[in-house]
Chain A
């Protein structure tokens, strides 16, 4: 008889909410608490290292010392490696070095503290700043460059938190970490089936657009439907690395399923600045990805082998 149930913990972290859940039996409360404490400690550690809003964070130190080699925490090194690889894989559409443009647009402090002001323009904007990573764990940015890891950092933290839970409780049946919509899963939920991840409908508040069935890996959503700022909340946080300004083209949101949440987040950000045609080409060129592309108007696009809940029927073939 299956007596597993899903134990959950929710707390605020990294400027958003974090959900940690683990499949556990009724006599495993102590293990559950250990796993939760390990996950929470890891998320807190990631925030202390990766936040651009904490002046003493490793990322803030790195940005302040642009042009010089800086020794930083392994979490920042690993996140930067993932970010640089994602920049190459997305041909620069995801770029962690857009921070100066993001600040110029007006996102220059935590979202709760933002003051609406007209955006500034950066003369001669050029993205793709060099990020050199030494084997010793030291990192050097181009002089004048600065890095933001707000999105990919959440995905990475979700992975790290799940790994921390496995270390604290090596035999647990399955667990999930959701950090601001970036979700990492491993193992099995209490009912034994795949994890069921709801995709929030960006066009209908509180509604679910689709349900994904994921056995392992990561899911992330990026979009311009929330985190808007500036005069009349006309600006959004998705900076187009090509222009250094909030992206003009692209859908309302994109949800990506990938091998892990950090990769899902980086590719979701890139696709959130892509036309439908470019998004189709990108997913076809990266078979390990699948995506749900939700334009402002018109029907959502399913790209790749998206693991949608099998409650659908084809009514028209073009």
Chain B
């Protein structure tokens, strides 16, 4: 009888260890896709051109969007 209890406890202990290990090695959440930085060629008043890198803009808090007029019913 004692051996039975030892086996049961061992199995439970092993399951607990596996669960802890699985929790510690759970996959990291996928990174959000990063917007590609945009570049602009800026022409100054003297005609010189400069390459400008824009940080990826966030449209989340903009008030409106300008675009070529699309058809809406």
Does B68 reach chain A (CB closer than 8 Å)?
yes
Interface string of A205-246 (1 = CB under 8 A from B): 001111110000001111111110000000000000000000
Contact of A176 among B38, B64, B73 (CB under 8 A): B64
CA distance A27 to B43 in the complex (A): 47
Within 8 A of A (CB), among B39-69: 39-43, 45, 47-55, 57-59, 61-69
How many residues does chain A have at the interface if contact means C-beta atoms less than 8 Å apart? 62
Q: Which residue of A lies closest to B55 (CB)?
A: A311
| Chain B residue nearest in CB terms to A280 | B43
Q: Are B53 and A197 in contact (CB under 8 A)?
A: no
- Any B CB within 8 A of the CB of A6: yes
List residues of chain B with CB within 8 A of the CB of A314.
42, 50-53
B57 and A318 contacting across the interface, CB-CB below 8 Å: no
Interface digits, A137-174 against B, CB 8 Å rule (1 contact, 0 not)?
A: 00000000000000100100000000000000000000
The verdict on A219 contacting B66 (CB below 8 Å), with A300-B38, A312-B55 known, is: yes
Known: A198-B64, A302-B41. A317 touches B53 (CB 8 A): no
A227-B70, A318-B51 are known contacts. Are A198 and B38 too (CB-CB below 8 A)?
Answer: no
Determine the distance from Cα of A17 to Cα of B19 in the docked complex, in whole angstroms.
54
Nearest neighbor of A19 in chain B, beta-carbon distance: B64
- Number of residue pairs spanning A and B whose beta carbons lie under 8 angstroms apart: 158
**Nearest-CB residue, chain B, relative to A317:** B50
| Residue contact A197 to B66, C-beta cutoff 8 Å | yes
Interface residues of B (CB under 8 A from A): 35, 38-43, 45, 47-55, 57-59, 61-73
Could you list 22 examples of A-B contacts with CB < 8 Å? A6-B63, A16-B71, A111-B71, A112-B73, A178-B64, A180-B69, A181-B69, A196-B61, A196-B62, A198-B65, A199-B67, A208-B58, A209-B57, A222-B68, A226-B71, A227-B68, A253-B67, A284-B45, A299-B40, A311-B55, A314-B52, A318-B51
